Structure 1
Amino acid sequence: MATHVKRAFKYRFYPTDAQAAELSRTFGCVRKVYNLALQARAEAWQQRQERVNYNATSAMLTAWKKTDELAYLAEVSSVPLQQTLRHLQGAFTNFWARRAGYPTFKSRKKSRMSAEYTSSAFRWRDGRLTLAKMTEPLAIAWSRPLPEDSTPTTVTVSQDPAGRWFVSMLCDDRPTPMPATDAAVGVDAGVSSLLTLSRPVPGLTDEYGKIRNPRHERKDRERLAKAQRDLSRKAKGNGKNRAKARLKVGRAHARIADRRRDFLHKVTTHLVRENQTIVIEDLTVRNMLKNRTLARAIADASWSELRSMLKYKAEWYGRDLVVIDHWFPSSKLCSACGTLQRRMPLNVRTWACDCGTTHDRDVNAAKNILAAGLAVAACGDGVRPQRSTPGGRSSVKQEVVPPQRSRAAAQPRG
């Protein structure tokens, strides 16, 4: 039986001038309400040590609409304004649980422009979507169909820095199960090679099991630098020339992000389709970005997005994603005899073990990651000799992301 999931389907659309103006006003009001509520909550805590919840900010919103200064808030749909208050409440919940930092104010130029509509604020009829305060449906470019017999429950409209308009529809979906397989693969992330697998995969890797890093940012670095130089020469303000220059910078960034995302989707889909078990390292990307020498290359590789894709695709399609601790000495451990080397500087790309085996650093790491991950899935710890880690923790994180359905359910029927 297929897994029941909530899935967002994102499409580009082309608004009329009236729709674009209405959405732009809505974006501005959403940002204003978020900032006002954040300021009110901060002042309540600083002055009276009082926590203000969503219900209190909702009452504040009603009062704000009745003032002459903020009467324009009543001209747009109230649902996106209520939704941004819920998002603020979620941000504070994450802050109190120490999952995120303190919420920050939204900037007109830097923050994402978006508005969220629930089912009471839009009409979905015969494949046509009409938002509140609008008389005409959105002209959506249907790049793929929505799931059959599915109705959107939430709609999010956004505009990116490149000036493109997108609508994201949250629907109930049942991803098509993939046939079960006994294949397993270890994945080592890198910079020169984006990924190194524990075994070569025809059509995906080279003969050594490595996936070339496309380096999308490096390819478009000159174009992006020129656009940013042009923007820096324009006088600050609301002039049309500066707006055009800012749009060129946004388009350059969008081109890089789109190509990177497309490549990661293709790689992760291939890995999930061909393997029942995928083992990766728990890389602390945030800390690694503090290295000024490698920060740009690490950011371009987008390891966090890669892991996120692997995680939700494994859950959807009945695969096992195993995450081992980043303290596991995958590079310094001989995958042939288990000997642990004392030191392994980053500039050492190949090395020879005392047992006579010559290793490629990345390929050897991928093999060790696979062995450790299979041990986690089987008995809860590693199978190779390991040096103790800081704090006395196991060198294997022992985190397994299981699929949401059994392996037997993934067997093809017929």
Structure 2
Amino acid sequence: VKIANNSNGGIGIDLGLKDLAIVSNGKTYKNINKSTRIKKLEKKLRREQRCLSRKYENLKKGESTQKNIQKQKLKVQRLHHKIDNIRTDYINKSIAEIVKTKPSYITIENLNVSGMMKNRHLSKAVASQKFYEFRTKLKAKCDENGIELRVVDRWYPSSKICHCCGAIKKDLKLSDRIYRCDCGYVEDRDFNAALNLRDALTYEVA
């Protein structure tokens, strides 16, 4: 294990669907699934999947062959694989960049991924963000570099706490992208959460 020269203090990372990760040091890692490259590939994938469905229909009518279907299946699989590789590569690069700043610790939230996957409105977006893969790889990189990975309970209200005065804004809605506190503090909601995660005192070490 390399013990990094971690004199830089810790950082908090707020993982989300709008952006992949908002870091308390001011860095934002965008949602790769909103990129033109992924959107184009997903559009192509939908087209090839429709084509595969048509070939199955034609097979029933005797107008298509198993060989045609296999060829089309392979096309679909290759596209799935390509999209998956781009997402994984992005996660690897993002984590490498975060770890390179040599924080003494990193704090993340223990996301309820399985619960989010049950929500049919969120499941596709959650799956494509690969949160579980992000956490697993972040843990491995932290271990490799002697960085403590702290995990805060999923019920910790990181988004609702005012980082300035500590008040809890109970009525904060998911649609409120800007956090406004009565004390006069105004900040991006996710950045406020990242700061609160960084400063959280109750956590488990992963």
Task: Determine if the TM-score, normalized by the shorter chain, exceeds 0.5.
Answer: yes
Which amino acid in 2 is paired with 1:212?
K
Which amino acid in 2 is paired with 1:346?
L
Q: Which has the larger radius of gyration?
A: 1
1:220 equivalent to 2:45? Answer no
Q: 2:23 aligns with which of 190, 194, 197?
A: 197
Q: 2:89 aligns with which of 249, 259, 262?
A: 262
1:19-45 superposed Cα distances (whole Å, 9 cap, x missing partner): xxxxxxxxxxxxxxxxxxxxxxxxxxx
Distance 1:335 1:219, change over 3 A: farther
CA displacement at 1:263 relative to structure 2? 0.6
8 Å CA contact retained: 1:186, 1:197: yes
**How far apart are the structure 2 equivalents of 1:351 and 1:272?**
28
Partner of 1:234: 55
Partner of 1:173: none
Q: 1:211 aligns with which of 29, 54, 61?
A: 29
Which amino acid in 2 is paired with 1:272?
V
8 Å CA contact retained: 1:187, 1:369: yes
1:333 equivalent to 2:161? Answer yes
**Pairwise mapping of residues 59-74 of structure 1 onto structure 2 (< 5 A)?**
none
SS of alignment partner, residue 369 of structure 1: helix
8 Å CA contact retained: 1:331, 1:361: yes
Partner of 2:135: 307
Partner of 1:101: none
Number of residues of Structure 1 aligned to a counterpart in Structure 2: 195
CA displacement at 1:178 relative to structure 2? 5.9
CA displacement at 1:185 relative to structure 2? 0.9
Q: Segments of 4+ in structure 1 off by > 3 A?
A: 216-219, 235-238
| Relative contact order higher in (CA < 8 Å, ≥ 6 apart) | 2
**How far apart are the structure 1 equivalents of 2:14 and 2:4?**
25
1:295 equivalent to 2:113? Answer no
SS of alignment partner, residue 351 of structure 1: strand
1:186 equivalent to 2:12? Answer yes
- Structure 2 unmatched runs, 5+: none
CA displacement at 1:257 relative to structure 2? 0.5
**How far apart are the structure 2 equivalents of 1:352 and 1:345?**
12
8 Å CA contact retained: 1:178, 1:273: no
SS of alignment partner, residue 234 of structure 1: helix
Partner of 1:47: none
1:95-138 superposed Cα distances (whole Å, 9 cap, x missing partner): xxxxxxxxxxxxxxxxxxxxxxxxxxxxxxxxxxxxxxxxxxxx
Partner of 2:79: 252
8 Å CA contact retained: 2:159, 2:189: yes
**How far apart are the structure 1 equivalents of 2:40 and 2:119?**
22
SS of alignment partner, residue 174 of structure 2: coil
SS of alignment partner, residue 176 of structure 2: coil
**How far apart are the structure 2 equivalents of 1:179 and 1:321?**
14
CA displacement at 1:219 relative to structure 2? 3.9
CA displacement at 1:363 relative to structure 2? 0.5
CA displacement at 1:301 relative to structure 2? 0.9
SS of alignment partner, residue 220 of structure 1: helix
Partner of 1:367: 195
Amino-acid identity (%):
37
Give the helix-richer structure, 1 or 2.
2
For normalisation by structure 1, the TM-score amounts to 0.45
